[in-house]
Amino acid sequence: MMLDAPRTQDLAGWGRTVHRTTQVRRPTFDTALVEAVLAEPKITVRGAGRSYGDAALPGAGIVLDMTCRDRIVSFDEGTGVLVVEAGALLKDVIDLTLPSGWKLPVVPGTERVTVGGAIASDVHGKNHPGAGSFGQHVHWLALLRSDAAIVQLSAGLDADAFWATVGGMGLTGVILRAALQLERVDTGWVIRNRRRTRSLDETLEAMRAISVRQELDPDRHAIAWLDGHAHGRTLGRGIVDEFYGASTLDLPTAVPPFPETRITGTRRRRSLPGPGIVSRATIAAASTARWHAGRSMNSQVLPLRTALSPLDRVEAWPAAFGRRGLVQYQFAVPPEGSGVLREVLVYLGTHGMTPALTTLKNLGFGTAGPLSFSIPGWTLAVDLPARWLHRLDALRPLDKLVASAGGRVYLAKDSVTDPELVPRMYPRIWSWQHTQQRLDPIGRWTSGLAERLGLLP
């Protein structure tokens, strides 16, 4: 088979802070993919490009775009086992399986990530204390190594390689396909209970209470939106949402059990000129208005997909930040590290970096993946206009706070972390590097993230 020539493309992370003009290959079949791998000394694997920073951008070499490999191979409606190519979007999986009464156990804030990207980032949802992260629901995956061999990995078959790939940021090889275990649902609806809080202490108290329920119920989701503009005694006030699956008995008679809530429209919005529309004034006004509008209420029925994938309703979000884009800083700290949450919010406020969006989630026990993000405790994410970070080290004091508390930043979101602190944040990186080198002894796989943070051996 004649290998098609690569095409020159301009690529960016979802936050639009990092751009690369690079050579891209889009091989559809395994044979063409093998040829492409053998033809290139340095390769970055890319899915839907939903990493905020440079995880799916090249430092050196070419990019393999996997989105053309998006077939649903098989779906067993009796067992809920789905075999799917790695380039398929979670959206495509949900479109197919939810009407049949099956859903993915873990869905991040967007359905527009690929299955391969979800595995490579070991993404988590709002139900992590009970359901864990995405990799815990993978029966097996097929991996194309740098020597062009295709191997099948699972938690029971070369477990070290499997868990190095789950959360491994695409640096162990090309995930070709995977078998996922789905879970049954009665309906495509959820019940939402909402509580408005008046301080960070009150927010944390509400989230702790929900976490206990989450540990007993994998289908219980929770997220807190925080008013990033609040300060003083109201610092950390917000709106806490708790969701759980609705049964048919919870629905009005005329409501169908599975609503039509397909996510449509994938066109990338062009960034607004100059600084965009996100400013300190608009953030202050929007945050204050949202908190006052978010009245406490119970038993509100919502479509499952609307509740779990809010980012898909604001597809133009990065464009609003203007030409320089947005930085999302997301980190996790242990339960006893809740004081770090307060310190981070105070630091941002006193340094004129009021977040445009601030969210807090509970985390439970993580996977065996050495580079997987989730640890028991809290995860806080803040969206900041990149133009406010006048220096690359503007958030380095936060890195030190997080690392000192036994926490870590989320590699899938990162674009600014201090590379010297990565081994403290991910103390098993040495184990991961040993396995990565076994899978890729010639050093073929790379990425901008890997080179910037020194992840590779």
Q: What is the pLDDT of residue 55?
A: 97
Out of 8-12, 355-359, 387-391, least confident range: 387-391
Strands 238-245 and 189-197: antiparallel
Q: What is the mean pLDDT of residues 326-342?
A: 97
How far lies 355's CA from each of 57, 286, 381, 408, in Å?
A: 25, 11, 9, 19
Assigned domain for 174 exists? yes
Task: Give the count of beta carbons closer than 10 Å to the beta carbon of residue 152.
Answer: 14
What is the distance between the alpha carbons of residues 158 and 87, in angstroms, rounded to a whole number?
23
Tell which residue, 173, 39, 61, has the closest CA to residue 119: 173
pLDDT exceeds cutoff 70 at 268: no
Whether residues 378 and 412 share a domain: the answer is yes
**Are the C-beta atoms of residues 300 and 191 closer than 8 Å to each other?**
yes
Query: Pairing state of beta strands 102-103 and 150-153?
Result: unpaired
Decide if 229 contacts 290 (C-beta within 8 A): no
> Does residue 342 surpass a pLDDT of 80?
yes
Q: Within this chain, do residues 201 and 172 fall inside the same structural domain, yes or no?
A: no
Last residue of a domain, one of 166, 184, 202: 184
**pLDDT at position 40 over 60:** yes
**Other Cβ atoms closer than 10 A to 262:** 11
Residue that terminates a domain, selected from 402, 418, 434: 418
Handedness of CA 297, 362, 417, 116 (dihedral sign): negative
Output Rg (C-alpha) for the chain, integer angstroms: 21
Number of domains in the chain: 2
How far from each other are the two terminal CA atoms of the chain, in whole angstroms? 34
Q: Say if residue 155 is in the same domain as residue 301.
A: no
Question: Per the structure block, which two tokens stand in for 234?
Answer: 């109201």
Residue 41 lies in a domain: no
What number is the average pLDDT over the span 139-160? 98
* 136 and 204 both lie in a single domain: no
Give residue-wise pLDDT tens across range 85-103.
Answer: 999 999 999 999 999 999 9
Alpha helices (H) in 254-383, listed in sequence order? 280-293, 304-308, 338-350
Instruction: Give residue 101's domain range.
Output: 75-184
Q: pLDDT tens across 26-38, in order? A: 999 899 999 999 9
Long-range pairs for 149-158: beta carbons < 8 A, 24 or more residues apart: 150/30, 150/176, 155/368
Band (314; pLDDT cuts 50, 70, 90): confident
- Evaluate whether 331 touches 402 at the Cβ level (below 8 Å): yes
In this prediction, residue 129 carries a pLDDT of: 98
Q: Same structural domain for residues 292 and 355?
A: yes
Band of residue 216 on the pLDDT scale cut at 50, 70, 90:
very high
* End position of a domain, from candidates 167, 184, 201: 184
CA 447 from chain centre, in angstroms, equals: 17
Q: Report the candidate in 125, 64, 76, 68 with the shortest Cα–Cα distance to residue 92.
A: 68
Residues 228-264 pLDDT 10s: 999 999 999 999 999 999 999 999 888 999 987 655 5
Q: What is the DSSP track for 233-289?
A: GGTT-EEEEEEEEPPGGGS-TTS-SS--------PPPPPPSTTTT--HHHHHHHHHH
Decide if 230 is inside a domain. Answer: yes
Q: What CATH number has the domain bearing residue 122?
A: 3.30.465.10
Residue 140 belongs to some domain of the structure:
yes
Arithmetic mean of pLDDT, 18-28: 93
d(CA 150, CA 326): 38
Residues whose CB is less than 8 angstroms from the CB of residue 213 and which lie 6 or more positions away in sequence, other chains included: 220, 242
The CATH number for 382's domain is 3.40.462
Residues 196 and 343 both lie in one domain: yes
Does residue 394 lie within any of the structural domains?
yes
Question: What is the per-residue pLDDT for 393?
Answer: 84
Examine the domain organization and report whether 130 and 233 are in the same domain. Answer: no
**Residue 301 bridge partners (DSSP):** 191
Neighbouring residues of 329: CB distance < 8 A, sequence distance ≥ 6: 381, 382, 384, 395, 398, 409, 413, 416
pLDDT at 387 over 80: yes
Same domain, 237 and 348: yes
What string of DSSP letters covers 75-102?
A: EETTTTEEEEETTSBHHHHHHHHGGGTE
pLDDT reading at 313 higher than 90: no
Q: What is the spatial distance between Cα 315 and Cα 285, in angstroms, rounded to a whole number? A: 21
Asked if residue 210 and residue 107 are part of one domain, the reply reads no
Q: Flag whether 123 is in a domain.
A: yes
In the chain, the percentage of residues whose pLDDT exceeds 90 is 85
* Of 196, 297, 208, the residue nearest 238 (C-alpha): 196
Does residue 338 lie within any of the structural domains?
A: yes
Q: Show Cβ contacts of residue 286 under 8 Å, excluding neighbours closer than 6 positions.
A: none
Pull the structure tokens for residue 82: 């789905």
pLDDT above 80: residue 389 = yes
The answer on 209 and 176 residing in a single domain is no
Q: Which of 1-5, 205-209, 247-251 ranks highest by mean pLDDT?
A: 205-209
Give yes or no: residues 367 and 398 share one domain: yes
Tell me if 8 is assigned to some domain.
Answer: no
| Local structure of 361: helix, strand or coil | strand
Sort residue 41 into left (φ over 0), alpha (ψ -120 to 50) or beta.
alpha
Is the domain of 230 the same as that of 334? yes
